[in-house]
Chains A and B, each alone.
Chain A
Amino acid sequence: MKQVFYYDQTSKQLTRIGIVSDTADLPANATFVQPQAGLLDPLTWTGTDWVGVSQAVWENNQPAPVSVTPTADQQFQAQLALQVATLQQNQTTFNAQVMLELADLKKNLPTSEPKPATTTTTPTATN
């Protein structure tokens, strides 16, 4: 089996690649010559070899880049997410400050020693 490279009758540009048996005759508008690597698509058959297009033509033929600009809804959602994240961060900072101040207050409180327990005896009347 071997590859056969079909080209357009008018433009001579490569249209598709087929496979035929090793003993098959050359079909019309085709060649058994494989394009060398490193050519820029589309390829054109010169009658003896394949040639690619220039870099400028190739770049002009490329599909338009996909737009990465977010929609208005996506921008709004991103802003909301940012606000929520900021609020959470502020809340965490506030909680930490409160905990620190509580710790300081507890440290500064005067320590009062527990008083010993006093026992009272009630006199009993004797007859």
Chain B
Amino acid sequence: MASKLITIDPLSSTWATDMNKNLDSLNSDTGWLTATTYAPITGRLYYKVTASGIYLKGFVVPNNFSNAQPVKAATIAVDSIADFGGDDKVFILGQAGGNYAIGTLTSKGDFWLVSVSGAVTNAVHFDGIVIN
């Protein structure tokens, strides 16, 4: 992931504006936003988008989840500030009780819960996850 920087041509008449836009992009930080979550998944999931990546925090509880069938758990914004790229991201999350979970984030911002090793009543935690 990288910032959306503007190429400034030599002697460009808009160099000052473009430079400020680039600095704004490098310093951008949305602050913590509430992710849109879907049933049957419950919980509280937050994210913020910065130039250095997307930060996640919070948890979800994978109610009625089956490892045989991935479930779309949430949607977040991924394309407004940083350049996400075209490939899906995959990451391993901690699950309560010493377990783990596997999730993917599509380039459209959909988070899918793919697998959990623990019981579906155990919360899956996102604290410390950075996607970049």
Residues of A within 8 A of B (CB): 1-3, 5, 14, 16-20, 34-35, 37-41, 43, 52, 58, 62-66, 68
CA distance A121 to B36 in the complex (A): 111
Chain A binder among B13-21, B27-35, B92-100: B27-35
| 16 more A-B residue pairs beyond the given contacts A19-B81, A43-B36, A52-B39, with a C-beta to C-beta distance below 8 A | A1-B30, A1-B33, A3-B33, A5-B36, A18-B79, A18-B80, A19-B33, A19-B77, A19-B80, A37-B42, A39-B39, A40-B38, A43-B38, A52-B38, A66-B69, A68-B68
Q: Indicate if B56 sits at the interface (CB-CB under 8 A).
A: no
Chain B residues within an 8 Å CB radius of A65:
66, 68-69
CB distance from A78 to the nearest CB of B (A): 20
> Which residues of B are in contact with A by a Cβ distance under 8 Å?
29-31, 33-34, 36-40, 42, 49, 66, 68-72, 75-77, 79-81, 108-109
Which residues from chain B contact A43 at a C-beta distance below 8 Å?
Answer: 36, 38
Q: How many A-B residue pairs have CB under 8 A?
A: 63
CA of A29 to CA of B36 in the docked complex: distance in angstroms?
18
Residues of A within 8 Å of B33, CB to CB, are 1-3, 19
Measured CB to CB, the closest approach of chain A to B25, in angstroms, equals 13
The answer to whether A41 touches B38, judged by C-beta atoms less than 8 angstroms apart, is yes
The distance from the CB of A21 to the nearest CB of chain B, in whole angstroms, is 10
Of chain B, the residue at the smallest CB distance from A17 is B77
Task: Report the bound CA distance from A16 to B30 in whole Å.
Answer: 17
- B29 nearest in chain A by CB position: A1
**Inter-chain contact A17/B75, CB cutoff 8 Å:** yes
Q: Which residues of the other chain, B, contact A1 by a CB distance below 8 angstroms?
A: 29-31, 33
Known pairs A17-B36, A40-B39, A52-B39; A63 contacts B81 (CB<8 A):
no
Question: With a CB–CB cut-off of 8 A, which chain B residues contact A40?
Answer: 38-40
